[in-house]
Structures are given as structure tokens and as C-alpha cells.
Structure 1
């Protein structure tokens, strides 16, 4: 389940680099909030505090209710960094 969440989030974040309708970005924010929330919860269950804080912070960053206006260029950079980070963690053996 964790691997699937990471893969789906990474794909969605990479798709954000393309010119998509505004509703798609809203959808990504909701999915990211839920996905990163689950990942934070799973990390907490495994006593991985650093990963829990990272996933919790990402859930807050992507949440759709109080939007953080960074501008398209910076959001693209954030999307790529987060998607790459998620992709890298897919290949680790000791994962959350």
C-alpha cells in the first residue's frame, strides 16, 4: 500500500509539470494531502520520526484549504524534488 501511494503521488506530481486544467491541480492537492497523511501515519507507527515529520510537512504544503502561493515555477521545482524523493524511496529496502 505504501509503495502504491508513493508511486501514484510521484506520477501525479510529474504530471503537474504539464499544462493541465486547474481542477487537476486541485485534485492533486487533495490526493497529496491524503497520501502524505497516510505516509506520515505509517512512519509514526514504525517509529520513524524524521520521515513522519517530512511527510506531515508535505501534507501541509500540498493541502488545498489554505493554499501556499509559490508561483508556477517554484511549484514545478517543488513537484520535481518531491516526486524524485518519492521515487528514490521506492527502491529502498527499509521503507515506510
Structure 2
């Protein structure tokens, strides 16, 4: 990748099309988050249904903290259904 200024909210297309991964997938019709490890160790995230949209850029430490917190249940509130909507339950 050519030297570009990488910043939070930049168009994901400016990071290129190679190197994006879907860390997990499920029965969501392909709607998921894609991740890319950048050369400096940061991690870019984008919405798979909007690959031309913004890339959110996180440090490695920020991602470790988020993932560890999610595993510990600290992000469970994000799974609560919006008023009037049912929550899909996944089974292992």
C-alpha cells in the first residue's frame, strides 16, 4: 500500500481491497464487520455491506480491551433488542 495518511473515518476504499477479513460469520446474510490489520499494527474496521463507507481505526490495545471486555460480558447490553424488536438468539 502506498504511503497514505490513515485516520479514523477515512473512506475504507483508500485502504485498498486486499487484506480485509471477516473475523466471524453467521446466518446474518453477509452483513458483518470486516477487519484489516494495518502495517503499523492498528486495526481498521468497516461494514461489509458498505465497503466504500468509513473505516474506523483502532490501536491494537483498544481492540484487545474491547474484545476482552466483550468476552467478560461487558458489551452484552449491545445485544439487547431495540424497543418493538425481537432479539435473534444464536445457538452453539
TM-score, normalised to structure 1's length? Answer: 0.27
Higher relative contact order (CA 8 A, sep 6+): 1
Larger radius of gyration: 2
* Greater fraction of residues in strand: 2
* Greater fraction of residues in helix: 1
